Amino acid sequence: MMMAVGILSMAFVLQAQKFGHISSEALLQVMPEYDSAQIELQELQQHYELEIERIQVEINKKIEEFNQNEATMSELIKEAKASEVQELQMRLQNYSQTAQQDLQQQSQIVIQPVMEKARGAIDEVAKEHGLIYVFDISQGNPVYTSEESLDMLPLVKARLEEQ
């Protein structure tokens, strides 16, 4: 008898639990702040790409000069010019690495407030609807979503529009 009551109470508790799901990627895509952040990052990336291109043009010019004048250069000048090209190539490589690192860091700095805003809205909607778990389906989490799982995207989008 006790076992039957325990099983029934466990079934009731499990039935009362509510789950939700959302695609955080889809949510971010509809947030104007995310678009602004992406534009800012694209502008920074273009700035870095232009500088990389400028350095590459300089390297190509030095190589072309070297090739055109190699026959008339002394060994000492050849070594100096080759060393100059190698230094420029190293500078380009270092700049590319530094630019990539800075772009990743800036991405985190710029996107973080947008993600926090989205997370806050998700938390609010989840609490309002009494959800105990919210799965982010854009992260490859559940392979199955029941009709009983609340799709939070429309609710969270509405909440963000209210703010």
- Please report the pLDDT score of residue 5 as a whole number: 43
Enter the tokens of residue 94.
């270092």
Per-residue confidence (pLDDT) for residue 9, from 0 to 100: 44
Count of the separate structural domains present in the chain: 1
| Residue 131, helix vs strand vs coil | coil
Edge-first strand order for the sheet with 133-136 is: 133-136, 19-22, 150-151
At 65 the pLDDT is 92
Q: Is residue 61 part of a domain?
A: yes
Is residue 34 in some structural domain? yes
Residue range 90-105: mean pLDDT, rounded: 97
Q: Are 43 and 98 in contact (CB under 8 A)?
A: no
Tell me the residue range of the domain where 31 lies. 15-162
Q: CA-CA distance, 69 to 61, in Å (whole number)?
A: 12
pLDDT per residue as tens digits for the range 17-71: 788 889 999 999 999 999 999 999 999 999 999 999 999 999 999 999 999 998 9
d(CA 49, CA 41) in angstroms, rounded, equals: 12
